[in-house]
């Protein structure tokens, strides 16, 4: 039963084929048996999971499709009474006093928490190698990364260690790991899902979304977590439709743009071939394919990294060794508490964020770096708006290449940043994106197709994604672990 989609599991629960306790226990057994190989979970919440499952069973009706369904949460989502580490030494023993709003919404629907999953420290990275708790391995090849920053989420979904997972995507952290592990990964529009209680990286970019086994499942999860929150002023009052009504099986009348800049230098030929084949499938389903151009894409990486590192450096300022974080035992005075706690508590990528961000924001450099990048951001948004006046969705590869080997890029931060080239534009522009399984490399590594849409047009992603999924079998392939 661990390989069931949410809607299938819901059917099983409703018809009493199995109980939520049985389903939950099956996942807990699977985690126990296989996660030693993957390292996707930081904390497994055995007892809480079984209690929540019992509660779902005693309610008995399973009217909400997520009732009694076991999930994992990226370990930057605050859970009251349950350690939330941001995969860092800084927050190694941090137990939040409250739940993130997104977790409260999921609890309200009756979901079951299996545990907290690994990620790059404070969600900074593209491989989960920046976790204080060690890398999460790719279930398709244990020598390779599961992607990042939400690599624990993608590995746990792909290897059936949960039914779905909640992650965050600032510049690719849901879509890229979903692509590398062969699952469905949904980045929402900025503000579509509340961020309250989710540990911040770059506050004007961060979004909370989901990993799932099918496009329909991603829509079911979004139905529960989307919408204005009185606890997060950045969630606008945009109506939340029932996203499942957009799960189309044909694409008649749908216009799909192919932005040539996403198929250029640095993108593996094998990956492009897979996506081109995917585009043919969409065409066969009735979509009209239109070539489009987004010339500012070439500035996406520098603009993105200047902006997120600036915002990130200010978000990291709160970890001063005193309030709720790691405190050094080597300090003689207050200044040393700050300096040594931060030195000991943060990993290399977080330190790079602080250095780069502080530099960009400093007097004299602000205009040259931060402000310039902010202007590029405004221009890029305009460019995407113009393209989305012509098309309903864009199709691109999600990642320029399949999963890379553990250790390959860890000493070369620029190469790691470049891996995000196809996912950062949606982060910059606050757009939603969906990565769906689209094929495999010759060596058997998953390749994902990215669908992008205009802001708050998540329904377009579901329409295109579902039609593609129904016409292909890639999402049914499972790693042998």
Q: Does residue 122 belong to the site contacting ligand GLN (CB under 6 A)?
A: no
**One symbol per residue from 185 to 214: x for binding ligand GLN (CB under 6 A), - otherwise; what is it?**
----------------x-------------
Q: In the set 129, 169, 216, 459, which binds ligand GLN (CB under 6 A)?
A: 169
What are the residues facing 452 on neighbouring strands? 394, 433
- Active site (annotated) includes residue 149: yes
Q: Does residue 151 belong to the site contacting ligand GLN (CB under 6 A)?
A: no
Indicate which residue of 149, 153, 154, 435 is catalytic: 149
Cβ at position 124, least distance to ligand GLN in Å: 5
Cβ at position 34, least distance to ligand GLN in Å: 26
Q: In the set 20, 45, 173, 214, which binds ligand GLN (CB under 6 A)?
A: 173
Residue 224 has phi, psi (to 5 degrees) of: -85, -40
Helix extents (H) in 234-371: 269-284, 300-315, 334-345, 348-361
The residue among 53 and 422 lying less far from ligand GLN, judged by its C-beta, is 422
- CA distances 144 to 147, 155, 216, Å, are 9, 11, 28
Burial of 349 (0-12, 13-18, 19+ CB in 10 A): buried
Q: Taking a C-beta distance cutoff of 8 angstroms, is the pair 370, 306 a contact?
A: yes
The residue among 223 and 455 lying less far from ligand GLN, judged by its C-beta, is 455
What are the residues facing 257 on neighbouring strands? 290, 394
Cβ at position 275, least distance to ligand GLN in Å: 21
Q: Does residue 388 belong to the site contacting ligand GLN (CB under 6 A)?
A: no
Q: Taking a C-beta distance cutoff of 8 angstroms, is the pair 13, 68 a contact?
A: yes
Applying CB under 6 A, the site for ligand GLN has a residue count of 14
Q: Provide CB contacts within 8 A for 378, sequence distance 6+.
A: none
Piece of the chain touching ligand GLN by CB under 6 A; list 76-84, 132-140, 163-171, 238-246: 163-171
The residue among 204 and 281 lying less far from ligand GLN, judged by its C-beta, is 204
State the Cα–Cα distance between residues 416 and 150, nearest whole angstrom: 15
Indicate which residue of 74, 89, 340, 409 is catalytic: 74
Cβ at position 308, least distance to ligand GLN in Å: 5
Q: Taking a C-beta distance cutoff of 8 angstroms, is the pair 118, 128 a contact?
A: yes
Cβ at position 181, least distance to ligand GLN in Å: 15
Q: How many CA atoms lie within 13 A of 467 on its CB side?
A: 24
- Active site (annotated) includes residue 74: yes
Q: Taking a C-beta distance cutoff of 8 angstroms, is the pair 109, 221 a contact?
A: no
Piece of the chain touching ligand GLN by CB under 6 A; list 118-126, 139-147, 241-249, 355-363: 118-126
Q: Does residue 149 belong to the site contacting ligand GLN (CB under 6 A)?
A: yes
State the Cα–Cα distance between residues 434 and 98, nearest whole angstrom: 30
Q: In the set 139, 151, 172, 400, which binds ligand GLN (CB under 6 A)?
A: 172
**One symbol per residue from 228 to 267: x for binding ligand GLN (CB under 6 A), - otherwise; what is it?**
----------------------------------------
Cβ at position 435, least distance to ligand GLN in Å: 13
Find the binding residues for ligand GLN in span 403-442 (CB under 6 A).
Answer: 420
Find the binding residues for ligand GLN in span 267-326 (CB under 6 A).
Answer: 308
Angle, CA of 185, 191 and 196, to the nearest 5°: 95
Q: In the set 10, 20, 99, 126, which binds ligand GLN (CB under 6 A)?
A: 126
Give the tokens for residue 100.
């993130």
Q: Taking a C-beta distance cutoff of 8 angstroms, is the pair 74, 128 a contact?
A: no
From the list 70, 393, 463, the residue with the least C-alpha distance to 243 is 463
Indicate which residue of 173, 229, 310, 341 is catalytic: 173
The alpha carbons of the chain give a radius of gyration, in whole angstroms, of 21
Q: What is the DSSP track for 81-118?
A: TB---TTSSTTTT---SS--HHHHHHHHHT-EEEEEE-
Q: Taking a C-beta distance cutoff of 8 angstroms, is the pair 247, 141 a contact?
A: no
Q: Does residue 170 belong to the site contacting ligand GLN (CB under 6 A)?
A: yes
Q: What is the DSSP track for 212-225?
A: ESSHHHHHHHHHHH
Angle, CA of 432, 434 and 436, to the nearest 5°: 175
Cβ at position 103, least distance to ligand GLN in Å: 18
Cβ at position 280, least distance to ligand GLN in Å: 30
Q: In the set 123, 145, 300, 447, which binds ligand GLN (CB under 6 A)?
A: 123
Cβ at position 314, least distance to ligand GLN in Å: 15
Active site residues: 74, 149, 173
The footprint of ligand GLN (CB under 6 A) covers 123-126, 149, 168-173, 201, 308, 420
């Amino acid at each position: 039963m661990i390989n069931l989609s949410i809607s299938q599991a819901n059917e099983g629960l409703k018809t009493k084929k199995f109980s939520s306790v049985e389903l939950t226990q099956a996942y807990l057994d699977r985690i126990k048996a296989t996660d030693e190989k993957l390292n996707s979970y930081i904390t497994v919440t055995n007892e809480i999971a079984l209690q929540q499952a019992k509660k779902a069973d005693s309610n008995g009706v399973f009217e909400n499709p997520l009732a009694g369904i076991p999930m994992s949460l990226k370990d930057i989502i605050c859970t009251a009474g349950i350690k939330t580490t941001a995969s860092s030494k800084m927050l190694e023993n941090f137990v939040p006093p409250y739940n993130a709003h997104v977790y409260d919404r999921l609890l309200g629907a009756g979901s079951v928490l299996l545990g907290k999953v690994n990620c790059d420290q404070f969600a900074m990275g593209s491989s989960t190698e920046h976790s204080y708790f060690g890398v999460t391995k790719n279930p398709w090849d244990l020598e390779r990364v599961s992607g990042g920053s939400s690599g624990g989420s993608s590995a746990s979904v792909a290897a059936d260690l949960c039914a779905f997972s909640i992650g965050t995507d600032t510049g690719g952290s849901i879509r890229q790991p979903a692509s590398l592990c062969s699952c469905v990964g949904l980045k929402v529009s900025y503000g579509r899902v509340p961020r309250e209680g989710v540990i911040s990286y770059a506050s004007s970019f961060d979004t909370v979304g989901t990993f799932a086994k099918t496009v329909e499942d991603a829509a079911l999860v979004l139905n529960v977590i989307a919408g204005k929150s009185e606890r997060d002023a950045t969630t606008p009052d945009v109506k939340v439709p029932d996203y499942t009504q957009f799960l189309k099986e044909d694409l008649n009348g749908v216009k799909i743009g192919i932005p040539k800049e996403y198929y250029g230098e640095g993108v593996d030929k094998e990956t492009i071939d897979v996506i081109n084949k995917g585009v043919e499938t969409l065409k066969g389903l009735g979509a009209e394919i239109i070539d489009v151009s987004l010339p500012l894409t070439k500035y996406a990486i520098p603009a993105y990294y200047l902006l997120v590192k600036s915002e990130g450096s200010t978000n990291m300022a709160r970890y001063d060794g005193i309030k709720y974080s790691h405190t050094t035992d080597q300090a003689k005075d207050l200044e040393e508490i700050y300096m040594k706690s931060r030195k000991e508590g943060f990993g290399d990528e977080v330190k790079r964020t602080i250095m780069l961000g502080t530099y960009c924001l400093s007097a004299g450099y602000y205009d040259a770096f931060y402000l310039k990048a902010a202007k590029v951001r405004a221009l890029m948004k305009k460019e995407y708006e113009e393209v989305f006046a012509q098309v309903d969705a864009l199709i691109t590869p999600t990642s320029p290449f399949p999963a890379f080997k553990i250790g390959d890029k860890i000493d070369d931060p620029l190469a790691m940043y470049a891996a995000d080239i196809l996912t950062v534009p949606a982060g910059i522009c606050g757009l939603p994106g969906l990565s769906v399984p689209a094929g495999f490399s010759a060596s058997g590594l998953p390749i994902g197709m990215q669908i992008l849409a205009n802001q708050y047009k998540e329904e377009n992603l579901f329409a295109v994604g579902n039609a593609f999924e129904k016409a292909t079998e890639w999402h049914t392939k499972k790693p042998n672990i």
